[in-house]
Amino acid sequence: MSWIVLVLSGLMEAVWATALGRSEGFSRLTPSIVFAVGLVLSMAGLAFAMRDLPTGTAYAVWVGIGATVTVLFAMVTGAEAVSVMKVLFLAMIIGGVIGLKISG
């Protein structure tokens, strides 16, 4: 259960990170609200998962998922350029997250 919550909270990290960028310094209401809700849900999920998982592993997986999904979303929406190197490095992050899961 902790791993499922951790993955979901990692996805919520991508939500709040994307909303933060779109809030334009908290000057836009809707992205600012999405940021706040996403942040609370993401942190709550991380805290829940850390009750059963080691702190370092949980944090690394949370950040890895959040960062990867944030960049992938930006690439899909055209906000960030796609390159072979970026895709390769994102695959390395995903490999590291999977490695942390199977080694635990």
- What is the pTM (predicted TM-score) of this model? 0.90
Q: Residues 30-59: pLDDT tens digits?
A: 999 999 999 999 999 999 999 999 999 999
| Tally of CB atoms within 10 A around 63 | 15
Report whether pLDDT(104) > 80.
no
Range of the domain at 57: 2-103
Residue 101 has a pLDDT of 87
Residue 85 has a pLDDT of 97
DSSP class per residue in the chain: -HHHHHHHHHHHHHHHHHHHHHTTTTTSHHHHHHHHHHHHHHHHHHHHHTTTS-HHHHHHHHHHHHHHHHHHHHHHHTSS---HHHHHHHHHHHHHHHHHHHH-
What mean pLDDT do residues 62-88 have?
96
Q: Residues 1-28: pLDDT tens digits?
A: 999 999 999 999 999 999 999 999 999 9
- Count of domains in the chain? 1
